Amino acid sequence: MVIIGIDTGGTFTDFVVFDGARLRVHKELSTPDAPERAILAGLAALGIERGGARIVHGSTVATNTLLEGKGARTVFVTNRGFADTLTIGRQARPALYDLRPAPVAPPVPAALCLETGGRLAADGGVVEDLDEADLAALAAEVAALAPEAVAVSLLFSFRDDRFERAIRAALPRELFVTCSSEVLPEHREYERGMATWLNAYVGPVMQRYLERLGAELAPAPLAIMQSSGVTAEPGFAARRAVNLLLSGPAGGLEGARHVARAAGHERILTFDMGGTSTDVALVDGEIALTSEGHLGRYPVAVPMVDMHTIGAGGGSLAHVDAAGVLHVGPESAGAVPGPACYGQGGTRATVTDANLVLGRLPASVRLGGRMALDLAAAERALAALGRELGGLSAAEAARGVIAIANEHMQQALRVISVERGIDPRDFTLVSFGGAGGLHVCALAEALGMRRALIPAAAGVLSALGMVVARPGRRLSRTVRAPLATLDEPAIAAYFEDIAAPGIAALEREGHAAAAIERSLSVDVCYRGQSFALNLPWHDVATLEAAFHAAHEQRYGHRLELPLELVNLRVALDVTLAAPRFAPPPVAAAATAAPGAGVPVLARETLAVDAPLPGPAVIYDDIATTHVDAGWVAQRDVAGNLALTRNPATPGVSE
C-alpha cells in the first residue's frame, strides 16, 4: 500500500509519497481558510489513486483555532466554589516587575462557568454528592446558554470519574462534551481544567474538519499525527483534539530521528525552520515528551513533544521601530501574500527576501520545483528597509535581517541545550524545513558544534515523519503516594489498569495485541516537592538510584528525603516494519552555476561521499543549503548532506 504523509504548515502543505521503495515529494501553497483544498490539490498533482493509499496527516487546524480565538462556544462545569479556577490560574505574571499589566480576558467568560455537586476529597471520598436535582438544574443552565461544547472538570475526578460520567449522560448527545477524567486524569485542577477546556474549545472545529477531509479522501484510510509523535484514527483524534496542538512539529521530530538514526547519529539537536516559525528540540536517542508545554498563553499539560518554538521563519517580516531599531518577526507574511519574492503582492522584506538578495538563495531556484522567485521585488523590499535604517543599501539591510534572525534561532537552541546543562558540542545539528539549510552552518558555528545533517527530504521532513510514525497512545494517571507505601505488585496492577483501555482501543482499530509495545515510566519527586522528574520504571531499587542521579544532574544536588510517586505513564506503540527507502539516483555531474560568487549545485549531481568545501549553495526541489566557508559537505548514499566543520578553521578545536 502507498503511504502518504501530509503536513499542513502556515505557508506550504507538504507531501511525501512512499510506494514501498522510493519517495516522491511535493509542495502546495497552504489554504488556511480551508486546509483540505491544498491537500486535494496536492493529491491531484501527484496523481494519487486513493483506493490503494493510506494517508497520515499532521494538521495546524487545532493550533490555529486556539491562537486565533475561533473555537467553539464552550461551557465550563466544575464543583461549587471553583468556577474561577481557570481565571485565577497560577497567579503567574509574564512580566514579574510590571506593576500595571494590561488586563487579559479569562479563557472562559464568567457567564459560561457553571457549578454543581459531585465533589470528591483527595483520597476519593465523597464530600458532596451529585443528585438528580443537581443534574436537572445543570442541564437547564446549559440549555439556556446554548453552547456548542461543554468541558466538565470536577475535583479529584482522576480518583473516581462517576460524577463526570453522570453529567455527560444528562446533557444532550449533540453537544461535544469533554470530561477531564478522560483527557488528563492527573492532579493539579488548573492544568487539568485547562486541558479539558482546550479539548472542548477546539474539538468541534477539528471534528468538522476531519469529517470533511475523511469524506473527500475516501476510500483511503486516514490517520492523524498527535502531539506525542504517535498517530490515531480520526474519530479518536477529534475527541482528543487537545492532543493535536503540536501535530506537525511532532512529525518533524519523528522524521529527524528516523533519518539521523539511519545515518548513525543518535544524539541530535533539531532545527525546523519553516515559513512562519522555528521549532527546536533535543533528541538523545528517544524523543522527549513534556507535560508542561504551552501554546500561546495557555498551559497544555497533555503529553507533547518537548520543543521550543519562536516566531522566526523564512516569512518573518523585518521592520524598524520608532527608535530606528531593526526587528525580525514574530509577524509573518504567511502563505498569502508571502515574501515579496513570491510575486503575490507582498512588499515588506522578509528573511527569505534577505537570503535571495545576498545570493544565499539563488534566484534561479524554483521553490517546490515550480515557484519562480522575483529578485527585483526582494531588492525593492530590502532597499525600502535600508532607507528606514538611515540609508543602508539593500544588501546591508539584508545582512542585518539575517544576523538578527540567526540570533533569535541561536538563542532558541541554547534554551533546549545549554540552559538545561547539556553541551551542544556533543550533538549533531539536524536542520530541516524549507529555510533551515540557509542558516544551519552559522547556527552550528555559534554553538561550537562541528557536525550538521541536512536530510534528503529536509524541506518536507515533517511529512516524512508522518510516513514513519507508528499508531499508539500516551496514557497516564495520578497516584500521589509515598514510594515506600507501594509494593511492586501494586504498581504493576496500576500500570495494567491504565494500559487496558488503550490496548482495547488499538485492537478495535485493527492492530493485534501482540504487536503493541508497552513502555512504562513514572513521575517521581522528593516528598514535599511540587514538580517531578520522569524516569523509566523497572523496579523500586533501580528507580531510587536513578532519581537521585537525575536530580543531581538537573539541579546540582541530591537530598536524603523519601521519594513520592506522583504519576504513572504508559506509552503504547504498534510495532510496524520500518520503511526502507531506496537510495535516490545520482544524476550526471553538472557544471556549477555561478551564484553571487559561489558555486550553485543540484544535490542530485553530487557524487556520494565526495567532499565539497564551502562556500557553496546546494539545492533541490524542496530546500536549499548554504555551505559556509570552513565547512565541508558530503552527500551520503541516502541523499543526506553531512556537514563537517574543518578543524583547521579558527575557533574550532577537537
Judging by DSSP bridges, how do beta strands 307-310 and 278-284 pair with one another?
antiparallel
Place of cell 539521523: 260
Q: Are 349 and 397 in contact (CB under 8 A)?
A: yes
- Distance from C-alpha of 392 to C-alpha of 320, rounded to nearest angstrom: 13
Q: Which CATH number fits domain 74-199: 3.60.21, 1.10.10, 2.60.40, 3.40.50?
A: 3.40.50
Give which of 181, 260, 271, 183 is closest to 227, Cα–Cα. 183
In 338-474, alpha helices (H): 351-357, 375-388, 394-415, 440-446, 461-468
C-alpha distances in angstroms, 5 versus 49, 132, 165, 509?
A: 15, 49, 36, 19
- Distance from C-alpha of 166 to C-alpha of 154, rounded to nearest angstrom: 12
Every domain of the chain with CATH number 3.40.50 lies at: 74-199
Q: Are 434 and 400 in contact (CB under 8 A)?
A: no
Q: Give percent above pLDDT 90 in the chain.
A: 69
Place of cell 544524539: 267
φ/ψ of residue 329, rounded to 5: 75, 180
pLDDT at 595: 46
Angle (nearest 5°) at CA 640 between 639 and 641: 120
pLDDT at 463: 93
Q: Are 27 and 367 in contact (CB under 8 A)?
A: yes
Below-50 pLDDT ranges, the chain: 590, 592-596, 651-654
Place of cell 515579496: 340
Type of residue at 334: G
| Local structure of 435: helix, strand or coil | coil
pLDDT at 311: 80
- Distance from C-alpha of 29 to C-alpha of 27, rounded to nearest angstrom: 7
pLDDT at 368: 61
pLDDT at 369: 62
Type of residue at 133: A
Q: Which residue(s) pair with 74 in the sheet?
A: 149
| Local structure of 420: helix, strand or coil | helix
Type of residue at 529: Q
Q: What is the dihedral of CA 461, 467, 471, 477, to 10 degrees?
A: 0
pLDDT at 611: 93
Give which of 30, 23, 32 is closest to 3, Cα–Cα. 23
Whether omega before 471 lies within 30 degrees of 0, making that bond cis, reads: no
pLDDT at 274: 77
pLDDT at 275: 77
549-574 burial: b if 16+ Cβ within 10 Å, else e:
eebeeeeeeeeeeebbbbbbbbbbbb
Q: Are 227 and 246 in contact (CB under 8 A)?
A: yes
pLDDT at 213: 94
